[in-house]
């Protein structure tokens, strides 16, 4: 079966589901105080980490996965220029997974401060 043969309801439900996930995750990012650019149709969002003072988005992503428990992709993977202040989150996940990630992200500043105090 090709995608063009699927009923219109399939696409409405798909849109509704991704819109819900996007809205949930963007709300979580807002609550965590992470600046972001709202996506206009993608299932990922770029967040600005420049306020953390980490010069390397890859290092930040590795730290965040290990110490915060949330994975992101270094934004520099998507630029030709040497831009290192963005990380990319994928929100095509279960809503509960997004809420759990949000709870962890709300503690990101405390975790970063603890990291800086031990290095």
pLDDT value for 2: 85
CATH of the domain at 105: 3.90.1150.10
Over the stretch 2-55, which tens digit does the pLDDT of each residue have? Answer: 878 899 999 999 999 999 999 999 999 999 999 999 999 899 999 999 999 998
Q: Which pLDDT band, with edges at 50, 70 and 90, does 87 fall under?
A: very high
Range of the domain at 40: 3-118
pLDDT value for 75: 95
Mean per-residue pLDDT, 100-119: 88
Segments in 45-107 forming alpha helices (H): 57-63, 95-105
pTM of the model: 0.88
Beta bridge mates, 48 = 86
Q: Which helix (DSSP H) or strand (DSSP E) does residue 74 occupy?
A: strand 73-74
- Number of domains within the chain: 1
């Amino acid at each position: 079966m090709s995608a063009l043969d699927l009923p219109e309801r399939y696409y409405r439900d798909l849109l509704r589901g991704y819109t819900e996930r996007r809205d949930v995750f963007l709300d979580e990012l807002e609550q965590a105080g992470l600046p972001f650019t709202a996506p206009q149709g993608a299932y990922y969002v770029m967040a600005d980490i420049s306020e953390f003072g980490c010069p390397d988005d890859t290092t930040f992503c590795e730290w965040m996965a290990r110490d915060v428990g949330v994975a992101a992709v270094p934004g520099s993977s998507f630029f030709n220029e040497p831009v290192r202040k963005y990380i990319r989150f994928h929100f095509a996940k279960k809503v509960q997974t997004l809420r759990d990630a949000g709870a962890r992200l709300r503690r990101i500043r405390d975790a970063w401060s603890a990291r800086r105090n031990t290095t």
